[in-house]
Structure 1
């Protein structure tokens, strides 16, 4: 499949110490096309596969992967336990891949795994004894698919996946997965600048009894972001401060497994976004820099994009240019529709600024051309 080809291509480039841009120049191929191929968003031609195989001395491996071109195997009829194991293994792989390279190429894989399992449920193929566990596994598969679709910039499809996950979790009696789906829906509404929806979800979660500490912490983070979007500075900072304070304690035994990723870097990043929404650049910029310290590659790209936006609002053109130059190499590696949308929006803020240096305007135009399909 194209994702396997892209994965191998990126590994070979890293191993050979070569960049995607340099390879495109050497082979006289369009870098945007080669980027789509490397990130699994476009299947390579036979000619390109042969040229890359020869150029990177891959001993025919790239040609074989291009020839295979088959989609990821769907779940086979091997029993509920085997299916559940496959769902979990797929989730581990796709999420790890997305943290390093973005969600574009693996979102279709996650959707396929989810839909394949969902079909078995709908067809009544799951024995009663395994129904509850299978429902929970499919709910989690929909959750993973939704997150990866979100990272790929497919907001409508992501929302449908989160809603489906929430319904399946309720049928399974899995309260933890219900909270997870609600958190993802709040995340999506935050991204789409719909603070009212976020506030309703956060208040619903926080009104429930005996909420695990980190579930409550995440609800406060989401609420803090929403309050910042509507200009409620004091209330927003109270929620975000409470979330940071809650991280000082170790995970509670009641905390769901999915909350493992909640850490100081994550809360710092959300705080940076909140400060930016409040037009507090003096707090937003250093907070984003702090969030960068241990961010995943995909997260680092996101925070640098927000630094471009922050510096542009403050007309710090030198710093804007520096951040764009730091982002450009990441575009060869990370394929995230979400980040491309955010980058285009941030570059528009730069382009609309007063007294933008001529060189920076040219850099912005070149960058927009690079990320435009």
Structure 2
């Protein structure tokens, strides 16, 4: 006979006791699964990340736990919601991404995890940039305030570089530079404090890439090109989505600087790298460059790249 579920004195199913070690175990599992994002696009990872989020939400709803364990579970839920939201965003499902980011922000605040709450706002700002630049700047500014100066250095570096990006897209050059300087100062700290896994990818190369992206957006190709060229020369092709995205800004800067052939060659690399990646973003990012290249069809490298784009 199948085992019967334990019941409480009221006859309702008893709530299973969640051990205090479970939040840490789930956080470690979340960290391992996050590595999938290094090599796969959101179209491949979304269902995995959403499943993890739903499982933790089910534990919170049906389990029994201490207040401290509950806060730990809420913090993990916030982290998982951000990862699932990022995958949805990468796959082009913006409404789902927004809901998950908002859920993450609420859970992080309930867990009193201000770094994660700040990062949830940061994700919302990043998503809003295309539609409402002023709102994106405001939300990104609030994300830095939410995380506070006590946040780990990697968190502060990430939030300030995302603030720099919001300012760059809004055309605010001075504010962009100040935010980039704040991110660099945070990274330069060496207090030995542990960093959350969700910011371990934030390093000097990442900051250089964001710096190059910002100067590209601000139409400063003489600043952008050397930075992007240098850091992307050693960037592994196994990170195909990210390399394709970053190269799209290099192609954009070449074009802004009048280097048409170079822009076409780099745009071709973007197409090659993004061909088998389940992410909508590289093709979206390179589309304006390809459109501008159509005015230079007489150049052989441009013709080749445009033909590749049509395949």
- TM-score by length of structure 1 reads 0.68
Gap change, CA 1:218 and 1:336, over 3 Å in 2: same
Alpha-carbon distance in structure 2 between the residues aligned to 1:287 and 1:173? 38
Alpha-carbon distance in structure 1 between the residues aligned to 2:114 and 2:175? 28
Partner of 1:126: 63
Range with greater deviation from structure 2 (233-242 or 292-301): 292-301
Gap change, CA 1:159 and 1:338, over 3 Å in 2: same
Gap change, CA 1:112 and 1:274, over 3 Å in 2: same
2:181 is aligned, of 225, 235, 241, to 241
Q: Does the residue aligned with 1:101 lie in a helix, a strand or coil?
A: coil
Partners of 1:102 and 1:334 within 8 A in 2: yes
Partner of 1:183: 122
Please tell me whether residue 319 in structure 1 is matched to residue 256 in structure 2: no
Instruction: List gaps (5 residues or longer) in structure 2.
Output: 1-14
Please tell me whether residue 356 in structure 1 is matched to residue 297 in structure 2: yes
Measured against aligned partners, the alpha-carbon deviations of 1:23-50 in whole angstroms (never above 9, x if no partner) come to xxxxxxxxxxxxxxxxxxxxxxxxxxxx
Partner of 1:195: 133
Equivalent runs, 1:357-372 vs 2, <5 Å = 357=298, 359-360=300-301, 362-370=303-311
Partner of 1:223: 163
- TM-score by length of structure 2 reads 0.80
2:215 is aligned, of 275, 282, 288, to 275
Gap change, CA 1:363 and 1:118, over 3 Å in 2: farther
Partner of 1:309: 252
Partner of 1:91: 30
Range with greater deviation from structure 2 (166-175 or 87-96): 87-96
Q: How many residues align?
A: 289
Two-structure CA RMSD over aligned residues (Å): 2.9
Quote the offset at 1:275 in angstroms.
Answer: 0.7
Measured against aligned partners, the alpha-carbon deviations of 1:187-237 in whole angstroms (never above 9, x if no partner) come to 3234x2633223223332444654324433333322222222232222321
Range with greater deviation from structure 2 (133-142 or 226-235): 226-235
Partners of 1:265 and 1:294 within 8 A in 2: no
Range with greater deviation from structure 2 (91-100 or 269-278): 91-100
Quote the offset at 1:369 in angstroms.
Answer: 3.3
Gap change, CA 1:364 and 1:342, over 3 Å in 2: same
Instruction: List gaps (5 residues or longer) in structure 1.
Output: 1-76
Partners of 1:247 and 1:263 within 8 A in 2: yes
1:115 is aligned, of 51, 54, 64, to 54
Alpha-carbon distance in structure 2 between the residues aligned to 1:332 and 1:285? 24
Gap change, CA 1:346 and 1:118, over 3 Å in 2: farther
Partners of 2:265 and 2:302 within 8 A in 1: no
Alpha-carbon distance in structure 1 between the residues aligned to 2:28 and 2:293? 42
Partners of 1:106 and 1:148 within 8 A in 2: yes
Gap change, CA 1:329 and 1:312, over 3 Å in 2: same
Q: Does the residue aligned with 2:262 lie in a helix, a strand or coil?
A: helix
